[in-house]
Amino acid sequence: MSRIGKKPIELPAGVDAKLEGRDLTVKGPKGELNMQFVDEVDVNFEDNKITVLPVNNGKLARSMWGMQRTLVDNIVTGVTEGFSKTLEINGVGYRAALKGKDLQLQLGYSHDVIFPIPEGIDVKCPDQTTVVISGIEKQKVGQVAAEIREWRKPEPYKGKGIKYADEYIFRKEGKKK
């Protein structure tokens, strides 16, 4: 039994869901998202609750059960609250700024890194060393944050680079003289 899969997903007020065959469409105050269920699970929608059940007791059906339920929960959370990731930039001369629809990063290279912001993602720079990425799709928000972080990962000696706000960088001791 999947502990996650057997919990029903309750729709909050102001959220409408429509289930047509294997396609689920959820509308909320922040937008509209849809997903298609795999053949290994059955979906029930009644009394403002979405329930996901496995088709049989096979290994694939049981593994898809919890994953599909989590994807539905992420969609419902996305259209009501949204998701966000905060990146911190550490290093002398390292900074970020918004230039139109692009994020301009100065990361110690001989050139500025221009990162185009994808559709459906909102990026804010409250100050020069903080980047806040938000949107309604959890996977897309995480992917954009990972791509920005990839330009200059934090190094373990001085901690310079781009890190998640809640990330801990294990620091190493330098050479002994």
Of 57, 80, 103, the one marking the end of a domain is 80
In a domain, 174, yes or no: no
Predicted confidence at residue 98, as pLDDT, reads: 95
Neighbours of 49 (CB within 10 A): 13
Domain count, the chain: 2
Please check whether residues 103 and 74 belong to one and the same domain: no
pLDDT below 50 — which residues of the chain?
none
Predicted confidence at residue 174, as pLDDT, reads: 83
Residue 121, domain extent: 83-164
Predicted confidence at residue 177, as pLDDT, reads: 75
Q: In CATH, what number is assigned to the domain containing residue 134?
A: 3.90.930.12
Please check whether residues 44 and 65 belong to one and the same domain: yes
CA-based torsion, 146, 24, 122, 86: positive or negative? negative
Q: Which residues pair with 45 in a beta bridge?
A: 50
pLDDT digit string (tens) for 28-60? 999 999 999 999 999 998 889 999 999 998 899
Please check whether residues 159 and 111 belong to one and the same domain: yes
Of 62, 80, 98, the one marking the end of a domain is 80
In a domain, 147, yes or no: yes
pTM attached to this predicted model? 0.88
Please check whether residues 13 and 75 belong to one and the same domain: yes
Please check whether residues 36 and 99 belong to one and the same domain: no
- What's the order of all strands across the beta sheet hosting 130-135? 121-127, 130-135, 83-90, 161-164
Predicted confidence at residue 118, as pLDDT, reads: 95
Q: Which residues pair with 88 in a beta bridge?
A: 130, 163
Q: Which residues pair with 44 in a beta bridge?
A: 51
Q: Which of 121, 117, 115 is nearest to 136 (CA)?
A: 121
36 SS3 class: strand
In a domain, 170, yes or no: no
Return the structure tokens found at 100. 């139109």
Predicted confidence at residue 1, as pLDDT, reads: 65
Return the structure tokens found at 140. 């897309």
